[in-house]
Amino acid sequence: MKKVYVGLRGDIIHPGIINIISEASKYGEVIAGVLTDKAIAEYRKLPLLTFEQRKDIIYNLKGVSQVVEQNDWSYVPNLYKYKPDYIIHGDDWKSGSLSKVREDVYKAMKELGGEVIEISYTQGFSSSVMVNEMNKIGTTPEKRLASLRRLINSKSIVRILEAHSGLSGLIIENISVTKDDKEVFFDGIWSSSLTDSTSKGKPDIEVVDLTTRLQDLTNILECTTKPIIYDGDTGGKAEHFAYTVKTLERNGISAVIIEDKVGLKKNSLFGTEVKQELADVEDFCHKIHLGKQAQVTSDFMIIARLESLIAGYSVDDALERAKHYIEAGADGVMIHSKEKTGQDIKEFCQRFHSIYKDVPIVLVPTTYNQFREEEFAEWGAKIIIYANHMLRAAYPAMQKVAETILMNSRSLEADSMCMPIKEILELIPGGK
């Protein structure tokens, strides 16, 4: 029997998918290539369902004879592997981001002596549109919690941006650009203690009690679906940290980052006049251990933030501390530095990654922001956090508007600096 290849995401099954499979089965045995999370994540948002769930669903559809993994956004590797007589696709790929994929498929099938069959796109049904509509409904704590590990396993770089309010969270949830035929967006949200306290007009002083932080965090949780990484400062006392982990995990937060320093809280990037005191390695390991014991799921992550470079110690010191923290159960490490060249960060990443290839490295390139994400990935980094840019952008914009109104005794001159109310309402679900 002839072989017919069909590439599918399989996240949402609608009449368009059924039509393609039904048409394909007329030509022979249908091989359904289900795109893995990794194949999708570099070009689109992660599917709602895991690969195994999507694979099971496609396998049980009438007309499908075989289900295989498609590990690449392009169909071509699987076409050479399975050598089908036909490949069937909707004619919607003639333009847009899939047009290059279409071109490559035609070349490959010509070499293989096969045929490309295009069928009319089923109007009124779009998996991407349906997924976006479902995201507007919201998500569950369990699903959000698990999404960070899925992203880490699927993407070369996981891109995180700071949010300090529900509105800034909505921007992160919805913003995207098209770049090199890829949809580029932020994968998750950073809940920063600095920007949270600053947005309230208060100093950045560590508070063990989560109550005040959770008020704004809840606002972000209610209007977003993406994973959240929580800035836990030092984590407080080890016994208190165990309860922090329980609270965060229960609310669907994906990870907490705690730093190995002690004493009066001082932002790592603020001046050099105060010597930073590092935590005792054994005490910090004990805190990590208690946190790991407290969590219920295997999805929640505790990430150890290394302050060695900030405190003036060597890369060797940071690596030695990282070794102990990983042995204590840390799921990842974050390395910080005030050095603008970024060379100390690069050295740490390369040396660490050569030993712990499967342990994610988190970077916050505030001072060494001349490097692109692709370079960080080459160093071995996995998560990039843009830690305070939303707040830093908002303050000067608001100040400028306020000054303009005062200067002109009216708001007309400020209109060009402000987002129209209509667009604000459209940004917020149900706001019209």
Q: Quickly list DSSP for 41-57.
A: HTTSPPPSS-HHHHHHH
Tokens 């001046």 correspond to 271
Q: How many H helices and E strands in the chain?
A: 17, 17
Which residues share a beta bridge with 29? 3
Q: Examine the residue annotation and report whether 204 is marked as an active-site residue of this protein.
A: yes
CA distance 223 to 226: 10
Q: Quickly list DSSP for 344-363.
A: HHHHHHHHHHHH-TTSPEEE
- Check if the beta carbon of residue 20 is closer than 8 Å to that of residue 11: no
CA distance 131 to 144: 15
Distances (CA, A) of 379 to 68, 151, 361, 365, 382: 32, 18, 10, 13, 9
- Check if the beta carbon of residue 117 is closer than 8 Å to that of residue 88: yes
* Catalytic, out of 56, 204, 209, 216: 204
The 3-state DSSP class for residue 96 equals helix
The 3-state DSSP class for residue 6 equals strand
Task: Count the neighbouring beta carbons within 10 Å of the beta carbon of residue 419.
Answer: 8
End-to-end CA distance of the chain: 56
CA distance 160 to 143: 18
CA distance 357 to 179: 29
Write the single-letter amino acid at 71: N
CA distance 380 to 362: 10
Write the single-letter amino acid at 23: E
- Check if the beta carbon of residue 315 is closer than 8 Å to that of residue 263: no
Burial 276-294 (b: 16+ CB within 10 A, else e): bebbeeeebbebbbbbbeb
Tokens of 126: 């779009």
> What amino acid positions are annotated as catalytic residues?
204
